[in-house]
Structure 1
Amino acid sequence: MVSAEAAAWALRLFVGREPTDPAEVEFHRGHPDLQSLRQSFAATVEFQDFLQRSVLPPPTYAMPAFLLRHPENPAIPVVFEEPTLARPVSQLCTASQFDEPEFRTWCSALDLTPDKHRKVWEFCYVAAVMWAAGVLEPGNRALGFGCGTEPVPALLARLGLDVLATDAPQGIVAGQAGDPAHQHTGGLFNLEKPTILDRATFLERVTFRPVDMNAIPADLGGFDVCWSSGASGHLGSIQHGLDFFENSLAALKPGGLAVHTTEFNLQSNDDTHEDTAVSLFRKRDIEALLGRLADAGHEVWPLNLHPGTTPMDEFIDLPPYSLPHLKLRAARHVLTSIGLVVRKRAEQV
């Protein structure tokens, strides 16, 4: 066993922090010698990020060949071109979309600073899809999942829609990945955005209900559109996220629209990250979902996995994250946001 002093210094030098407690030091003393200790700590995410930031040239993204492969299921429509918010489909977050007038328009409508950040893109993408699909009509009913403190409910209400915003019951969200960012609402008023909509109209058109996305209540139904922004990757597993997307269609009327954004693994179609906090969806996961929905008679919007061609599309953000923040490395994988759109079949089979 290595000494307690060596284990503590390994944490300081390689990870950049003090030991959390004596038990952590004792755990790392289990290495048989110093070489084993060094090799283990040199492979940590913290040390690799330090190397990339301080010593090595910054990593750049190069598109892997698997993104070019057509889905095995021919029922999934595919395009491969620079994605655009002017004509959205199911697509990745890319740099050119931030330069479109549509991005600035939706940022203004949502009262968002037009930062080159994938989360800002997700909100604008959701709105752009709803606009393109023609569902932003007064009197339509909209259902939001995992809304946190996002501005989409207020915008939809301003446009005349009746909105039910939901988030996980407090007992479920505590300790999950979304909670540390303080995005969980806990109630209606954290969704209020006075710069978008006055309080009286907001209270008239927006209601709130705690809903577990892993167990959507059967009484939720008849909505014209449902959406979620980055929530389905935090449901405990890849399968939970895929099940949520499919189950969300039950809340829609025939012909209703579902638009969801989530994390997408740009690096591998095999190896990925999946745990109770966050799961990174692979191309094969997305295609399995869309193929199943297409086979069931739903209208699957074309899938566009073009990752962009500008220098910004090659940039990989590393911890501590900053801007631009389109592609990032987390849990040893390169990821970005993807938006998926499905229109529920017009008639029940």
Structure 2
Amino acid sequence: MPLRMIRSLARARRRATLPQPAEWLRLQARELDMLRWTVKVLGADMVQRHYAAGLAGPHVPLPEAPAPAGLTSRTCRQTDIEGAWVRHWCRALGTTPFYHRKLWEDCFILQVLWEHGKLQPGQRALGFAVGEEPLPAILASRGVEVLATDIAAEDARAQDWIATGQHGTGTDRLYRPHLSDRAEFDRLVGFRSVDMAALPEDLQDGSRDIVWSACSMEHLGSHERGLAFVEAAMRCLKPGGIAVHTTELNLDAAGETLSQGSTVLFQLRHLEALAARLGALGHRMLVLDHAHHPGIMDQFVDVPPFEEGRVPLGHLSPPHLRLSIAGYPATSVGIVVIAKEAPP
């Protein structure tokens, strides 16, 4: 048989054994799922090694008293989770230090408020999109009067939050028995339905010492709407009052980002523009601390699925300080703004 014919037959056999396009795509999807799982396994093992070394986790001591950390506007990072200030607020939150950006957000807001002398009786706070956050209960346990707000349940935009158990409709699910008795909580904490994209005029009366939101401004539909919310919320504050907001930051400062839709990703340029806008109104956004030596947890980017119970071989807890959102590397960032002081 001529060599040319032998080669032709060999190529035909190889083609016959190749999967069809649809099956090939299914194969790639299955292997991608296994790759995601492998990444999470390695991340979870890394976490356990850090716990065993006493850097974080269930066996580290939780200081009874807070300690100054000198926080300004800031990005989430590994050293914070391993620091004394996060450990202290974990005590109030009823948890242990673990490598998750949502834990960092709660601790960041509380630490900033404490450092500025706001966690004490007589202070008045306004929280936006609180859902079922622990922050209203913690503030109330320090004697702070709190108005917690969330979008109305009948608003179509609330449906996703309702489905995932992150929507608030009253004070019942905000109460934390380990922090205070119910009568004292009810005396200090109220609830109201509020649309962050259209703040009621009566709330913009300059009567609050504190306003806050935790990972909410990125869900207003665009960068501009998120920045406009921060600007409008400043009108709720007394002169010298403080605003603390956390949101999603795209760590790729120069590339593309999510700019429209149910979640947008801010970049450094958006926060720099926000600082300039607020400064023009006489407010002062504290400098953004985003340059730091990355720890190993800061270099791990968690990938979907993030929900528990959706992995093939059991439950894992990989680091979640960085994550992929629509393919963009993201983390949490906290911004701190001091309201314009009254003229002398």
Code of the residue aligned with 2:198 in structure 1: it is A
Match of 2:280 among 266, 274, 295: 295
Point out the structure with max Rg over C-alpha: 2
**1:335 — aligned with what?**
330
Counterpart selection for 1:284 from 253, 262, 269: 269
The percent of aligned pairs where both chains have the same amino acid is 42
Question: What residue number does 2:320 align with?
Answer: 325
* 1:346 matched residue in structure 2: 341
1:109-150, Cα deviation, whole Å (9 max, x unpaired): 122332210000000000000011111120110000010111
CA 1:267/1:53 → structure 2, altered by over 3 Å: closer, same or farther?
Answer: farther
Range that drifts further, 258-267 or 229-238: 229-238
Paired residue type of 2:337: V
Structure 2 counterparts to residues 235-246 of structure 1, below 5 A? 235-246=220-231
In the alignment, is the contact (CA less than 8 A) between 2:82 and 2:97 conserved in 1?
no
Q: TM-score, normalised by structure 2?
A: 0.77
Aligned length: 290
Residue equivalent to 2:178: 195
2:245 matched residue in structure 1? 260
> Can you list the C-alpha shifts for 1:62-121, whole angstroms capped at 9, x where unaligned?
xxxxxxxxxxxxxxxxxxxxxx97111000000000111111111111223322100000
* Displacement of 1:214: 0.2
CA gap of 1:8–1:204, structure 2 versus 1, over 3 A, is farther
What residue in structure 1 maps to residue 142 of structure 2? 159
Kept after mapping to 2: 8 A contact 1:318/1:328: yes
C-alpha contact (below 8 Å) 2:151/2:158 kept by paired residues: no
Letter of the 1:186 partner, please give it: T
Between the aligned partners of 2:167 and 2:176, the Cα distance in structure 1 is 15
Q: Closer, same or farther in 2 for the Cα pair 1:291/1:177, shift >3 Å?
A: farther
> For the aligned residues, what is the CA RMSD?
2.7
- 1:81-100 to structure 2, matched below 5 A, reads 86-100=69-83
- 8 A contact 2:113–2:119 mirrored in 1: yes
Distance 1:233 1:121, change over 3 A: same
Report deviation, 1:267: 1.8
Conserved in 1, the CA contact under 8 Å of 2:210 and 2:241? yes
CA contact (8 A) 1:93 1:307 kept: no
Do residues 312 (structure 1) and 297 (structure 2) align? yes
* Structure 1 counterpart SS, 2:169: coil
> Aligned AA for 1:120?
L
In 2, the alpha carbon distance for the partners of 1:10 and 1:248 equals: 52
Alignment TM-score, normalising by the size of structure 1: 0.76
- Structure 1 regions of 5+ residues with no counterpart? 1-5, 17-46, 60-83
Cα-to-partner distance string for 1:202-223 (whole Å, 9 max, x where unaligned)? 1000000000000011101300
Q: Give the distance between the partners of 1:85 and 1:328, measured in 2 at CA.
A: 29
Task: Provide structure 2 residue ranges, at least 5 long, that are not aligned to the other structure.
Answer: 1-19, 44-66, 307-316
